[in-house]
């Protein structure tokens, strides 16, 4: 039990690092779009570009082996319907608030709600795609598809940089390999993190070498700093991008494992345990905070990004705390019984549920 808990601690720490980077990216990009300014956070996001979202997918696939052999109904309820419920709920909230109310365009809101069924909506695309990649992996497992053959096909899809115009297809091609990597490489990652916690000095040397190589390749010729989307250099080349993504996710896992040894960083582990709660709810407070700050004259890009990011991260956690304290609005983060497949409902099936399930 102690070993499992330690593993879950570093997994939550890795999720904390990942959600921190994701919110930072959206905050920096939105500030850049509104002001045209470039903050210090833009440079951090450029460095993390190869591994920022791959890490989230890989971590999501880490414990899949523990549930992949469950009967289809139980698996689908936990790994497909679970995510689709929260995707649908928060897509409705986002669209109704932003398009229906703020933009006073109810017909546009209805149109976007319709499209959200087949085209993942906004930042919620990740929740949508978790349901898709989970279902595809289950089907391939049932068909006894060769594991490394599937991994190779996923790698080819990622390197092909597919752009069909159908967002769900393009994102599947770009990220399926990382979810599947979490599934098939989990034992190796657990061994790597265990080794890192027992060999701190060597692990730090390895991280330094990785950071130097990642920096050199990201900021190599071809790099361009854009206020919205920095363009990485050689690190963006097919094949090399895939290698750097896998290396970066492994490095982030090692960093997370080392951080679990520092009690002062336990806040990040706790935040990681609530990462999907933050993910579904950070966009609206982020937009409101950024708009108000600009209106009141806060225009320095780094300060504006920092405050916007702080509000975006803390607001969902405050909302979650209020829901838990009052008992009102539990459906926002806790799937109600009616949203389960028949015979599969569990008590307190929450958005931040144990990743081992």
Q: Rounded to 5 degrees, what are φ and ψ at 121? A: -90, 125
pLDDT, residue 350, reads 67
Q: What is the pLDDT of residue 354?
A: 43
Q: 348 or 305: whose pLDDT is higher?
A: 305
Distance CA(245)–CA(217), nearest Å, equals: 12
CA–CA gap between residue 144 and residue 52 (Å, rounded): 31
Per-residue CA distances from 304 to 16, 42, 287, 307 (Å): 22, 12, 12, 5
Least confident residue range of 55-59, 172-176, 340-344: 340-344
pLDDT at residue 80 in the model:
95
pLDDT digits (tens, 9 = 90+) for 120-161: 999 999 999 999 999 999 999 999 999 999 999 999 999 999
Report which DSSP code applies to 263: G
So what's the pLDDT on residue 154? 97
Residue 349 has a pLDDT of 64
Q: Stretch 2-25: mean pLDDT, rounded?
A: 82
pLDDT band of residue 1 (cuts 50, 70, 90) is: very low
Instruction: Check residue 3 and give its pLDDT.
Output: 42
Mean pLDDT of 333-357: 72
Give the percent of the chain with pLDDT over 70: 94
Which residue in this structure is represented by tokens 């696939």? 61
The pLDDT of residue 188: 95
Whether the pLDDT of residue 64 is over 70: the answer is yes
Rounded mean pLDDT, 95-119? 91
Residue 11: φ, ψ to 5°: -65, -45
Confidence class for position 357, pLDDT limits 50, 70, 90: very low
User: Is residue 5's pLDDT more than 90?
Assistant: no
- Closest listed residue to residue 192, CA positions, set 137, 264, 246: 246
Q: Where are the alpha helices (DSSP H) in the chain?
A: 2-35, 40-48, 52-61, 72-76, 82-95, 106-115, 125-142, 147-159, 167-198, 200-218, 240-259, 266-273, 275-281, 283-295, 301-326
pLDDT in tens, 24-42: 999 999 999 999 999 999 9
The answer to whether 21 and 126 are in contact (CB under 8 A) is no
What pLDDT does 172 receive?
Answer: 97
């Amino acid at each position: 039990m102690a070993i499992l808990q330690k593993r879950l601690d570093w997994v939550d720490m890795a999720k904390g690092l990942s959600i921190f980077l994701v919110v930072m990216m959206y905050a920096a990009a939105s500030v850049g779009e509104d002001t045209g300014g470039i903050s210090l956070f833009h440079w951090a996001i450029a460095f993390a570009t190869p591994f920022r979202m791959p890490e989230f997918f890989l971590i999501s696939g880490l414990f899949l082996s523990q549930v992949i052999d469950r009967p289809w109904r139980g698996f689908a309820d936990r790994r497909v319907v679970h995510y689709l419920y929260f995707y649908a709920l928060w897509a409705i909230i986002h669209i109704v608030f932003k398009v229906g109310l703020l933009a006073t365009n109810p017909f546009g809101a209805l149109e976007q709600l319709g499209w959200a069924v087949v085209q993942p909506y906004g930042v919620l695309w990740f929740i949508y795609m978790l349901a898709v990649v989970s279902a595809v992996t289950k089907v391939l497992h049932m068909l006894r598809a060769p594991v490394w053959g599937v991994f190779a096909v996923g790698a080819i899809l990622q390197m092909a940089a597919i752009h069909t115009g159908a967002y769900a297809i393009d994102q599947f091609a770009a990220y399926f390999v990382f979810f599947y990597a979490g599934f098939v490489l989990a034992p190796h990652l657990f061994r790597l993190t265990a080794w890192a916690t027992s060999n701190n000095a060597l692990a730090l040397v390895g991280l330094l070498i990785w950071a130097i190589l990642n920096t050199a390749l990201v900021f190599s010729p071809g790099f361009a700093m854009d206020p919205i989307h920095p363009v990485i250099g050689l690190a963006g080349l097919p094949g090399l991008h895939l290698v750097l993504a896998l290396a970066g996710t492994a490095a982030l896992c090692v960093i997370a494992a080392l951080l679990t040894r520092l009690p002062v960083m336990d806040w990040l582990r706790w935040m990681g345990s609530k990462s999907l709660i933050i993910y579904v709810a950070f966009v609206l407070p982020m937009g409101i905070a950024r708009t108000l700050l600009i209106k009141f004259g806060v225009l320095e890009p780094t300060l504006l990004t920092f405050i916007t990011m702080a509000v975006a991260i803390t607001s969902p956690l405050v909302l979650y705390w209020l829901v838990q304290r009052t008992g009102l609005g539990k459906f926002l983060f806790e799937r109600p019984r009616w949203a389960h497949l028949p015979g599969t409902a569990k008590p307190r099936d929450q958005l931040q549920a144990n990743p081992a399930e």
